[in-house]
Structure formats: C-alpha cells, structure tokens
Amino acid sequence: MTDSAPATPAAPTTPATSATTQDVPAFGWSAYAERVNGRFAMVGFAAILLVEALSGQTFLKWAGFVS
C-alpha cells in the first residue's frame, strides 16, 4: 500500500528586498528626491574643488563674481 497523504503546500517565499526596492520616484518631498538632490550636490561640490585645484583660483574669482 502506498500512503498518498496530500502534501502540505509550501509557504510562498517572498524575495529578499533591499533598501532601495521600496523607493519609488515621486514628486515633492520624498526620501528618493532628497537622496538624489544630495548626490547631485556632492558631485557639484567635488567639481568646484576640482576647478579650484586646477585653476589655482577661488571658484568665485574663476567664475567672475569677484575681481
């Protein structure tokens, strides 16, 4: 005789989520917008430092805001 008891269904597995999968691009004040804004600000600041290092002048003088 064979025992044909119904097998219990396996619990559905949910994929592991990372910290960024819940972030949805949205307009307005959101964590996503703040993160992107911060990253662009860091790139801009690094660019200003690079301009100052290569030109030997302050950014304001290089840009012509002060003489």
Chain segment 12-65, per-residue pLDDT in tens: 776 555 555 565 666 678 888 899 999 999 999 999 999 999 999 998 998 899
14: enclosing H helix or E strand: none
Q: Which residues, in sequence order, are CB contacts of 32 under 8 Å at separation 6+?
A: 23, 24, 25, 26
Quote the domain boundaries for residue 52.
42-67
Query: How many independent structural domains does the chain possess?
Result: 1
Q: What is the pLDDT of residue 11?
A: 72
In a domain? residue 67: yes
In a domain? residue 52: yes
pTM score above 0.85: no
Quick one: which of 48, 49, 24 has its CA closest to 35?
24
In a domain? residue 54: yes
